Amino acid sequence: MGGGFDGRGRALIGAGKLATETKKTIRTIPQERTPIPEQPASDRIGNFDEVALGYRPEDALREAERCLLCKEAACVPACPVAIDIPGFIERISEQDYRGAYDILTDANLLPAICGRVCPQEDQCELVCPVGDVLEPVAIGRLERWIGDMGLEEGWHNVPHIEPVPYRIGVVGSGPAGIACAADLAKAGCEVTIFEALHAPGGVLRYGIPEFRLPNEVIDAEMENLTRLGVEIQCNTVVGRMFTIKQLRTEMGYDAVFIGTGAGTPRFMGIPGEALHGVLSANELLTRCNLMGALQFPKYDTPITIGSHVAVIGSGNTAMDAMRVSLRAGAEKVYCVYRRTRQESPAREEEITHAEEEGVEFHWLTAPVELLDDGEGAVRAMRCIRMELGEPDDSGRRRPVPIPGSEYEFEADTVVYAIGTTANKVIGQTSELELDERGYIATDDDLSTSMAGVYAGGDIVTGAATVILAMGAGRTAAGAIKDYLKIRDTEVVYQPDGAKEGPFGFDPRERNHVRLRLPPDHTVPEPALSGSGSQEG
Amino acid sequence: MSDTRYLFKRGKTWWVKISVPPSLRPALGYDLRRSLRTQDLETARQARSQVVAEFRERIARARRELDGPTDPKPVQADGYQITAREDFSDVTYLLELSHPMLAEAAQPGQFVLVISHEHGERIPLTIADFDREAGTITLVVQAVGKTTREMQQRCVAGSTLHSVVGPMGIPSQLENAGKTVFVGGGLGVASIYPQVRAAQEAGAYVIGVVGFRNRELIFWEDKFNRYCDQLIICTDDGSAGIHGLVTKGIEAAIEEHEDIAELVAIGPPIMMRACAEATRPHGIKTTVSLNPIMVDGTGMCGGCRVIVGGEMKFACVDGPEFDGHQVDFDHLMGRLRRFIEQEKQALETWAEGLTGAAAP
Ligand SMILES: Cc1cc2nc3c(=O)[nH]c(=O)nc-3n(C[C@H](O)[C@H](O)[C@H](O)COP(=O)(O)OP(=O)(O)OC[C@H]3O[C@@H](n4cnc5c(N)ncnc54)[C@H](O)[C@@H]3O)c2cc1C
Ligand code: SF4
């Protein structure tokens, strides 16, 4: 054969159709990035429906055209789970959507979720060479489109699973736990996820609101996990119901993965934090997303969101808290952040959406005191203006207060979204080594100080992103496979190149664990049966 | 010709192979095959049927998966069964739940979070008793708000709760097995019981001080008597035991015993504060169990934050027990009133619904 294969079995130039087609160049592709239809800001603040409505088929096809299908695609290593991005985009162009879905879901069990919430602009889309000249290919939007199509069509990518005699316990059903469980289930292990809350999904469920990530999408993608044979046991606090050690010993789990996240909210310790109307963003979001508080009294959980809501912080969590507050009927929502928009850790898209919806941003502002209305509730916030000084350890310029610049503004609800720290229970109830900030200490392969116990996601790195947590879950799954000496089923065999082989099949095809054929691919039965036909 | 159905030879070894229906090939591949590890055709024939049967089963399973499980495994638990109920008064009732794992894990001082039905809220309830052998835990509930009143109506033996999770919180740690006073007021009487039993079993000299409004409302007197070296009952109206609040009982105990090492109190915040004030002059170590408003109970919402010794703590994961002399009770009581308006509204809507439903 003229070409080679890269690690994922994709034909390299020379082997297939890439060579024969006229090569796309930056000049021949559609120049403008295809916009994604959105609900107008004025409508959407009155509902919890999704803001970004998703591509239509013509949008997706046009956007897929913009991908140059690079040979050594820079976006692939930039994706924490190394999706074969050009591979799936090429399938879209060929209108082989099922094929695109299969490529995506080989690497990422949750494409409809990641396509919505990944910070693509810092990952795959950041390194896309189209972005050097034009706007980069909208990889995330294409991923979401295929993911949504998979959900609508009821596709699932369940490979052949060869059982191995191992049981794996996964603690926490957030993205890290989900990704780890999926990989190990595919490798044939019997996997059980233990989740403390009454519904699975971690932050996806209790944190990210419906207008960014509808619950149906979570439910549907989580169902694919159960199709792989993973069992999800909710209402189970590991550490308290049983310990990690018990899991490994008495309960007979051969390996354990901990993905318990970093959900403990931080407060500032300024006067007035005990007042009514002061709460963490996690409390606000949990009440609304997990417990249905906005449908009170149909749902029993209450929430009080006043008319003037000030949210402290400017990350994704802050944006979500502000946008939920707007939808809950707040008249005015302020964002108070001690640095500037440039330093804001939220995704650009989220900030833009919040601005469009009418959030008022107070950059370079820090609260110093919360003021009492005389009846135990918060009335206003006293703030001080800041300016940027010398860069600090994080390389960002440190905000310093401007003396005498204090001022007050009215707020009857104050929400803290200034970051979170490790969930404590596992640390309290095990002998696992923690780092100085209380996160679980791991080696590069995510093994902890206890043999057979691995950890990843926010509980190791501190609050990060969905896809980084999923990447960690997959890394840990790889390490667990090594630890248990299970054969790696990760490398998916794709028989594209096989078309070129003698008699229409690939000489290397021999007892492969996973075999995928294009739906239209039929092989005459007799060619394979009969004794000795496999030799050669 | 000899019978080589499902068999083929690779090198000299016999293998079994059966082909996979086209619709299942994406999942299973063209065919399923396995070496029989024999070069002898007769042996291979004998071994064949078992492997073929196993492969057939695998194909059938794949087909079921492809068609989708008829009833995908419910992600949420089906519910937790209530095995017994007892009413102590027209507002206080006991529920016994079957939950062997929880019963196995429960320790004195811990609590559970309960959601009574799908639209319910998560409420923390102290584990009032657990029986490892029977696999049950006991909760004692006071019908005060909408949720607990509704539970009073719905929760009968045989019914289920939507979600029960626990045991939450750090188990209570008795530092020494000297003379210890355990104080329970109202509902706290039930909550303190597991500690009384554990302390007695650990060899402590146990003094129980329990407070009720009146004689009719007294419960578990026999249980306490079994594990207390001395039991002091207080009633608000004097209809039984000491006439007065539990603090009177504490004073009596302190007077009688000079060597009290520790006091543990569970009850309404106002009572726990009074207990802490009663022991402060005597320098007796005092532990109180706080029960602020919680949502998740796993440390993620911070709704249960309390101030202890000037520092912020989360009652759900740092507690629920804290040094009573350090707790800022004003802060606690203020925060407990956060949702008073909503609670009233919930109760009203619920009551309206009830009368509405009662009408023909
Ligand atoms: C409001 C909000 C918005 C966000 N928006 C984005 C975004 O747009 N894009 C993005 O990429 N990232 C976003 N993030 C960050 C992202 O959600 C997290 O980084 C990611 O979910 C971390 O995954 P995880 O699996 O490590 O932990 P989590 O998702 O936190 O899951 C941990 C799970 O473990 C459970 N658990 C904890 N302790 C125990 C125990 N002892 N026993 C059993 N179970 C336990 C928890 O209940 C939870 O379900 C956001 C975060 C928040 C809070
Ligand atoms: S998962 Fe995230 S980083 Fe990976 S391709 Fe999709 S959007 Fe990009």
Residues B142, B185 within the same domain:
no
| Structural domain that includes position B152 | 80-168
Q: Collect all residues of chain A within an 8 Å Cβ-Cβ radius of residue B341.
A: 304
Q: Is the minimum CB–CB distance between B8 and chain A shorter than 8 Å?
A: yes
Tell me what percent of the residues of chain A surpass a pLDDT of 70: 86
The Cα B333–Cα B291 span in angstroms is 10
Single out the residue in B289, B319, B352 at which a domain terminates: B289
* Residues B109, B161 within the same domain: yes
Chain A closest CA to B64's CA: distance in Å?
11
Interface check B322 vs A, CB under 8 A: no
Confidence of residue B190 (pLDDT cuts 50, 70, 90): confident
Higher pLDDT, B3 or B119: B119
- Candidates A232, A217, A53, A50; CA nearest to A150 is A217
Instruction: Look at A123-132, A318-327, A469-478, A520-529 and tell me which has the smallest mean pLDDT.
Output: A520-529
Residue type at A227 in one-letter notation: R
**How large is the average pLDDT for residues B81-104?**
85
Please determine, for residue A8, whether its predicted confidence score (pLDDT) is greater than 70: no
What pLDDT does residue B2 have?
61
Residue B258 lies in a domain: yes
Residues near A155 by beta carbon (within 8 Å), at least 6 away in sequence: A98, A101, A149
pLDDT of residue A530: 40
Place of tokens 């035991």: B241
Residue pLDDT, tens place only, B127-148: 888 888 888 898 888 887 778 8
Could you tell me if residue B337 is inside a domain? no
Name the residue with higher pLDDT: A342 or B4.
Answer: A342
Pick the residue whose CA is nearest to atom 4 on ligand 2. Answer: A79
pLDDT of A442: 84
How many angstroms does the Cα of residue B35 sit away from the middle of ligand 2?
Answer: 41
Contact A240 B168 (CB under 8 A): yes
Report chain A's mean pLDDT, rounded to a whole number: 81
In a domain, B318, yes or no: no
Cβ–Cβ below 8 Å for B10 and A522: no
Considering the domain A17-153, what is its CATH architecture?
A: Orthogonal Bundle (1.10)
Cis peptide before A35 (omega within 30 of 0): no
Cα(B303) to centroid(ligand 2), Å? 34
CA A270–ligand 1 middle distance (angstroms):
27
Q: Does A523 touch chain B (CB under 8 A)?
A: yes
* Ligand 2 centre distance from Cα of residue A264 (Å): 27
Residue A260 confidence class, pLDDT cut points 50, 70, 90: very high
Same domain for B59 and B97, yes or no, is no
For residue B279, which of B182, B192, B351, B174 has the smallest C-alpha distance? B182
Give the nearest partner residue to B166 out of A237, A428, A531, using CB atoms.
A237
Number of domains composing chain B: 3
* Angular region, A108: left φ>0, alpha ψ -120 to 50, beta rest: beta
- Residues of A (328-347) whose Cβ lies below 8 Å from B: none
pLDDT > 80? residue A292: no
Distance from C-alpha of B153 to C-alpha of A51, rounded to nearest angstrom: 42
Q: Is the pTM of this model over 0.80?
A: no
**Same domain as B156, residue B122:** yes
Same domain, B191 and B283: yes
pLDDT, averaged across chain B: 80
CB B319 within 8 A of CB B313: yes
Q: What confidence score (pLDDT) does residue A4 get? A: 39
Which CATH number covers residue B87?
A: 2.40.30.10
Which of B27, B302, B307 has the CB atom closest to A158's CB atom? B27
Ligand (nearest to CA of A81): 2
Q: Is the pLDDT of residue A6 over 50?
A: no
φ/ψ (deg, to 5) at B311: -110, 150
- Answer yes or no: do B245 and B194 share one domain: yes
State the complex-level ipTM: 0.72
β-strand pairing of A167-171 with A255-258: parallel
Distance from residue A459's CA to the centre of ligand 1 (Å) = 9
User: Where along chain A do the CATH 3.50.50.60 domains lie?
Assistant: 167-263+422-483, 268-420
Residue B118 in any domain: the answer is yes
Q: What is the pLDDT of residues B21-77, one digit of tens each?
A: 767 777 787 788 888 888 888 888 888 888 888 888 888 788 777 765 444 333 334
Asked whether the predicted pLDDT for residue A526 surpasses 50, the reply is no
Reply yes or no on whether the pLDDT at A5 is more than 80. Answer: no
Q: Hey, what are A195's tokens?
A: 């989740």
Q: Hey, is A529 helix, strand or coil?
A: coil
User: Is the Cβ of B350 closer than 8 Å to some Cβ of chain A?
Assistant: yes
Three-state DSSP state, A162: coil
Q: In B, which residues are within 8 Å of A242 by CB distance?
A: 101, 105
Pocket of ligand 2 contains residue A196 by CB under 6 Å: no
- Tell me the pLDDT tens digit for each residue of B204-262: 888 888 888 888 788 888 888 888 888 888 888 878 777 778 888 888 888 888 888 88
Calculate how far, in angstroms, residue B73's C-alpha sits from the geometric centre of ligand 1: 23
Pick the CATH number of A167-263+422-483 from 3.30.420.40, 1.10.150.530, 3.50.50.60, 2.120.10.30: 3.50.50.60
Indicate if the pLDDT at residue A285 is higher than 50.
yes
- Are B185 and B284 in the same domain? yes
Contacts of B124-128 with CB under 8 Å at 24 or more apart are B124/B168, B124/B291, B124/B294, B124/B297, B124/B316, B126/B190, B126/B191, B126/B266, B126/B289, B126/B291, B127/B166, B127/B167, B127/B194, B128/B94, B128/B190, B128/B191, B128/B193, B128/B194
- What H or E segment, with its residue span, contains residue B98? strand B92-98
The dotted CATH code for A268-420 is 3.50.50.60
Q: Is residue B284 part of a domain?
A: yes
Query: Quick count: other Cβ atoms within 10 Å of Cβ A210?
Result: 19
Q: How do residues A50-84 score in pLDDT, each as one tens digit?
A: 888 888 888 888 888 888 888 888 888 888 888 89
Tens-place pLDDT, residues A296-345: 667 777 777 778 889 999 888 899 898 888 888 888 888 999 888 888 88
Q: Are residues B183 and B285 in the same domain?
A: yes
State whether B56 and B128 are in the same domain: no
B285-289 and B260-266 strand pairing: parallel
How far is Cα A43 from Cα A438, in angstroms, rounded to an integer? Answer: 43
- Could you say which residues from 274 to 333 on chain A have a Cβ atom under 8 Å away from some Cβ of chain B? 274, 276, 279-280, 282-283, 286-287, 290-292, 296-302, 304
pLDDT at B21: 72
Residue B295 within any structural domain of the chain: no
On the question of pLDDT at A172 being above 90, the answer is yes
Question: What are A344-403's pLDDT values in tens digits?
Answer: 888 888 888 888 888 888 888 889 988 888 877 888 899 898 888 888 887 778 888 888
CB contact under 8 A, B101 and A241: yes
Min distance B213 CA to chain A CA atoms (Å)? 30
pLDDT band at B121 (very low <50, low <70, confident <90, very high): confident
Nearest to A292 among B68, B119, B341 (CB): B119
If you average pLDDT over residues B250-279, what whole number do you get?
Answer: 84
Both B184 and B235 in a single domain?
A: yes
pLDDT of A178-237, one tens digit each? 989 988 998 889 999 999 988 888 888 888 888 888 888 888 888 888 888 899 998 899
Cβ of residue B35 closer than 8 Å to a chain A Cβ: no
Task: Indicate if the pLDDT at residue A257 is higher than 80.
Answer: yes
pLDDT of residue A15: 39
A492-508 average pLDDT score: 51
Residue B353 reports pLDDT greater than 70: no
Kindly list the residues from chain A whose CB atom is less than 8 angstroms away from the CB atom of residue B105.
240-242
pLDDT tens-place string over residues B286-340: 888 888 777 777 878 887 888 888 888 888 888 788 888 888 888 788 777 767 7
Q: List the residue whose alpha carbon is closest to atom 1 of ligand 2.
A: A114
Nearest CA in chain B to A377: B338
The ranges of chain A annotated as CATH 1.10.1060.10 are 17-153
Residue B298 lies in a domain: no
Rounded Cα gap, residues A199 and A291, in angstroms: 10
Task: Provide the pLDDT confidence category of residue B90 given band limits of 50, 70 and 90.
Answer: confident
Residues B201 and B119 in one domain: no
Composition of chain A by helix, strand, coil, percent to 5: 35, 15, 50
Angle at CA of residue A438, ends A209 and A462, nearest 5°: 35
The answer as to whether B346 is a domain residue is: no
Picking from A160, A193, A205 by the largest number of B CB atoms within 10 A of its own CB, the best residue to mutate is A160
